[in-house]
């Protein structure tokens, strides 16, 4: 019997000295500067480090922005002079708000002269001004406009308070900080919520993409304001409006205007404890003829 071969594989082809195997590729190099050559692995590592550095820088800027925003809520403004212990416990975020000056202070209310300002406003769904679903839906619509859902994709700063208005004698079509304002249209049983617009834009506010949002300038006015804490309900507002009208009926210097509608301002975000919330109810007033 013939001896079996040691290996059944075909012999490898011979190659000249210094010749590279056909299946082995030379290491890739990348030219990064004149006269400098680095390997592909080094280039990839440099790219990863550069991207990581950019991401870290962006994260630091974002963290600084978030910290700045959080500070506005953690260290509230003291723009209101408390009259009672209840008001002393109230906190107001350090955000841009409606400019005003106090004309008169009483135990139950104060009279303010409010400068003109712009609002973004939307009609609230449902028949109640302060039900959770309706309020949340309206708030989100206005917040979307404020944070970029507009014709220029402008992201504007939050203001305070949010206003809720009730009972206009005449409905109207509108052109186009915080309180949030809510109002109710007479005869239509509809409420409206509005955001105060940052003053730096003036009349040059971007147009909303959502047709349910309108922009309006409110003229300067004199209002009687009563502050209170806690959660806001329709029944509570109705009772507080009646009390404020009773107090103003005894005021010899100011009286409620015939077409005045109740307006509610809420200064705090939803996560605020009820006893530290600042809410206000307001009625537009005018100087009494007797006082003139």
pTM (2 d.p.): 0.68
What is the tally of helices (H) and strands (E) in the chain?
4, 13
Beta strand pairing call for 110-114 and 221-228: antiparallel
- pLDDT band of 66, cuts 50, 70, 90: very low
- Taking 70 as the threshold, does the pLDDT of residue 224 lie above it? yes
Q: What is the mean pLDDT of the chain?
A: 77
Q: Is residue 198 part of a domain?
A: yes
3-class secondary-structure state, position 176: coil
Residues 207, 79: Cα–Cα separation, whole Å: 31
Q: Is residue 117 part of a domain?
A: yes
Supply the CATH number for residue 217's domain: 3.20.80.10
Total number of domains in the chain: 1
Q: Is residue 59 part of a domain?
A: no
CB 289 within 8 A of CB 251: no
Burial zone of 256 (CB within 10 Å; 0-12 exposed, 13-18 middle, 19+ buried): middle
Q: In the prediction, which pLDDT does 141 show? A: 94
Q: In the prediction, which pLDDT does 122 show? A: 93
Q: Is residue 239 part of a domain?
A: yes
Dihedral sign for Cα 270, 221, 165, 275, please: positive
Q: Which of 122-125's residues contact partners 24+ apart within 8 Å by CB, and which partners?
A: 122/192, 122/193, 122/194, 122/210, 122/212, 122/213, 122/214, 123/185, 123/190, 123/191, 123/192, 123/212, 124/164, 124/182, 124/190, 124/191, 124/192, 124/193
Q: In the prediction, which pLDDT does 21 show? A: 56
Lowest mean pLDDT of 121-130, 218-227, 228-237, name the range: 121-130
User: Measured between alpha carbons, how far is residue 42 from residues 25, 36, 53, 225, 254 in Å?
Assistant: 18, 12, 16, 68, 79
Q: Is residue 210 part of a domain?
A: yes
Q: Is residue 62 part of a domain?
A: no
CA atoms within 13 A on the CB side of 62: 6
Q: What mean pLDDT is predicted for residues 59-67?
A: 50
Tokens standing for residue 284: 């537009």
Q: Is residue 46 part of a domain?
A: no
Residues 6+ apart with CB under 8 A from 146: 120, 155, 156, 158, 195
Q: Is residue 280 part of a domain?
A: yes
Q: In the prediction, which pLDDT does 250 show? A: 95
Range of the domain at 147: 79-167+188-287
């Amino acid at each position: 019997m013939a001896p079996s071969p040691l290996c059944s594989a075909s012999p490898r082809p011979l190659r000249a000295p210094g010749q590279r195997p056909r299946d082995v590729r030379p290491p890739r190099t990348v030219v990064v500067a004149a006269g400098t050559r680095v390997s592909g692995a080094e280039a990839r590592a440099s790219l990863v480090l550069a991207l990581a550095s950019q991401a870290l820088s962006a994260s630091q800027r974002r963290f600084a922005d978030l910290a700045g925003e959080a500070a506005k809520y953690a260290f509230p403004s003291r723009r209101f002079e408390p009259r009672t212990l209840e008001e002393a416990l109230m906190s107001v975020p350090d955000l841009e708000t409606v400019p005003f000056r106090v004309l008169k202070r009483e135990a139950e209310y104060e009279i303010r002269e409010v400068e003109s300002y712009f609002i973004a406003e939307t009609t609230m769904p449902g028949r109640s001004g302060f039900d959770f679903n309706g309020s949340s839906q309206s708030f989100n619509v206005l917040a979307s406009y404020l944070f970029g859902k507009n014709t220029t994709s402008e992201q504007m700063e939050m203001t305070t308070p949010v206003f809720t208005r009730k009972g206009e004698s005449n409905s109207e079509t509108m052109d186009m900080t915080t309180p949030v304002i809510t109002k109710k249209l007479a005869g239509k049983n509809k409420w409206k919520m509005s955001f105060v617009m940052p003053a730096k834009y003036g009349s040059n506010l971007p147009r909303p993409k959502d047709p349910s949002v309108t922009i309006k300038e409110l003229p300067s006015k004199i209002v009687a304001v009563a502050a209170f804490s806690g959660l806001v309900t329709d029944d509570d507002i109705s009772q507080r409006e009646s009390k404020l009208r009773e107090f103003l009926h005894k005021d010899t210097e100011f009286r409620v205007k015939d077409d005045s509608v109740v307006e509610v301002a809420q200064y705090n975000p939803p996560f605020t404890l009820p006893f530290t919330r600042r809410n206000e109810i307001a009625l537009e007033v005018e100087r009494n003829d007797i006082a003139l």
